[in-house]
Structure 1
Amino acid sequence: MSLDDERNDGLYGGSGETRTRLPEGEGGGQDGYGGGRRSGRSSSRSLVTVVGVVVVLIAAIAFANRGGEGSSSGGGGGDGKKAGADPTAATGEQPVDGKTAGIPSGFAKSEQGVQSAASNYAVALVSADILKPARRTQIVRQIFVPDKVDELEQQFSKTYSKEFLTKVGLDANGNSAPGETYVSRTLPVGTKTTAYADSSATVQVWCTGAFGTAGQKTTNPVSNDWFTMTFKLRWSGGDWKVERYSSKDGPSPVNGDNKVSTADEIAKAVQEYGGFTYAR
C-alpha cells in the first residue's frame, strides 16, 4: 500500500461462503418396490464399501503422519515444498522466535522466510499503531532498509498529519475519543513470490481486514476490506527489510449475509483477541 492509499475512509468488501448440500434422500438406495429391503448383493456391496472406507482412512492417517514428520524438521526453503502440495497451504517453515519493537524479526533467508516477513510487515504497516507518531517511528525503523528510513519517516509524518488524524476521529497522538475504539486489523490470506534471488525478493500478500471506528456516534463505522500488497524486500543486517511497497484493491469475494455486530461487540473483540505471528 502506498502512503497515499491508506484505507481509513470508505472501507468496503466482505466475505462470503457457498455451501452445497445434496437434497435429502438422493441416492437413498430404495428399490422399485417402495421398501428399504436389502438383498444379498446390497449387503455385499455395503461390506465392500465399509472395507474400502477403512482402507482409505488408514492410508490417509499414514500419509498425514508421514507429512508431520517431514514438516517437523523445520529448516530451509527448498525442503518445505512438496510435489502436488496446495500452494495456499502452510509449508512447514517454523515461525520466528523473537520480536524487535513488537514486530516479528529474524526471518529465514529463504523463499518461505521472505513470504513470512512480508506477511508480518503487512500487518504492522496497516495497523492502528502506524497512526501513532511514537509507535510509527519504531515500526518504520524496524521494517525498512536503513537507507530508506529517514525519507519514509518524513513521508509518513506528512501523510498522517494532524488534519488526517482529525478526519478519522483521532487526536494528534493517534488516540480515539473517549468511548470509541479505532480499529485497523489486517489479516494475510495468502502470499506469492513473484521474484526471488539470494538477497532480494518481491512478494505479494493478499489481505483482508477490519477498519474504522467502533463507537455510538462514529461517522466511520468498522467495515472490512480486501486488497493485495506488493513488497520489494532486501536482505539487510541479517533479516528481510522492505525497500518499497504498494497496494491494489481485491481480489474481493461477494459480501456474505453475516449479521452486523454492534460497535461495543467490535470494540470488545479488538481488545480481547490478539494477533498472530504469520509464517508461510
Structure 2
Amino acid sequence: MVREFWILGFENTHNTKSILFLLFLLSYVSTLSTNFTIILLVIVCQHIKAPMYFFLSHLSLNDILLSTTIVPEMLHIILKEGSSISLSGCFMQFYFFCISTANECLLLTVMSYDRYLAICNPLRYSSIMDLKLCVLLASISWACGVTFPFPHIVLLQKMTFCGSNIIYHFYCDLLPLLSLSCSDISANEIVSIFNSIPFLFLPFIFISGTYINIILAILRISTSAGRQKAFSTCSSHLIVVCVFYGTIVFNYLVPSEGQFLGLQKMISVCYTIMTPMLNPLIYSLRNEEIKRTIMTFIFLKKQSKMYI
C-alpha cells in the first residue's frame, strides 16, 4: 500500500538543475511582484476603479494562488531531483490547483462579458456592470472554483494506491494520480467529463461568442481610430484567453505516457508558471491607463522621498 508519493519532476537535469532553479525562482518572484502591483494599484488608485480593473485584480490574486501552489514545491523538487509528498499533501496541492484553474476559466469568461458590454452596448454599460454585479460575478467565480474539486478529492481519498508511487510530473495532477490507482477510476473519469463542461467547454464557447460579436461591432465602426481604440480595450484579454485555453486544452489532448511525457510537462509549465507571470505584463504593457498609473505612482514615491 502506497503511503506517500515520489514526485519525479524533470528528468535528466542533474547538470542543469541550478539554471532551472534560478529561472523558475526568478519567474516566481516576477509573478508575485507584478500581480501584487496590479492588486495594489487597483486598491490605492481611485481613477482605475472600472469593472475591468476590478476583475483584473481578482485574476492577479488567482494567479498568485496558482503559482504559489505549484512553484515552491517544484523548486524543492528541482534541487533534490525528486521529492516525497504524503497522500494528503498531494491531494491538497491538487485541490488548490483545481481551484485556481477553474476560477481562472470563470474569471476570463466574466471579463469577456465585461468587454462585450463595453464595446457592443456602451450606452448601458455603466448601468449594467455596476459594483453590485461585479462583486456578484467575482464571488460566484470563487465559490464555484472552491466547490468544484470536492468530488475529485472525495473520490481520491477513497481510492487505493499500490505498486509504483512515482508521479512522472512536477506536481500532483489528476491523470498521474489515477495511473497509480489500484481502484476503479470510472467514477473519476465521469466526474472529470461533467466538470469539464461548465468549467472548460461552456466558458470557451461563451468567450468565442462574445468575441465574434465584439469583432463584428468593431468592424462596424466607421473610423480607423475608433476601431483601433475599441480593439485595444479587448486585445490584452484576448491574448490571455488564447494562451491559457490553448495550452490547457492541448495539454489534456496529449497522451500522458511514454514519449509524450516531456511534451506534457513543457505545456504544463506554460499554464501553471508562465501564464501567471505573463498575465499582468500583457495587461500592463498593452494598457495605457495602467502604464500611466504606474509611472505616476513611481513619480509620487520619488517626490515623497525627496521631501523626506
Question: Higher helix fraction: Structure 1 or Structure 2?
Answer: 2
* TM-score calculated relative to the size of structure 2: 0.21
* TM-score calculated relative to the size of structure 1: 0.23
Q: Which has the larger radius of gyration?
A: 1
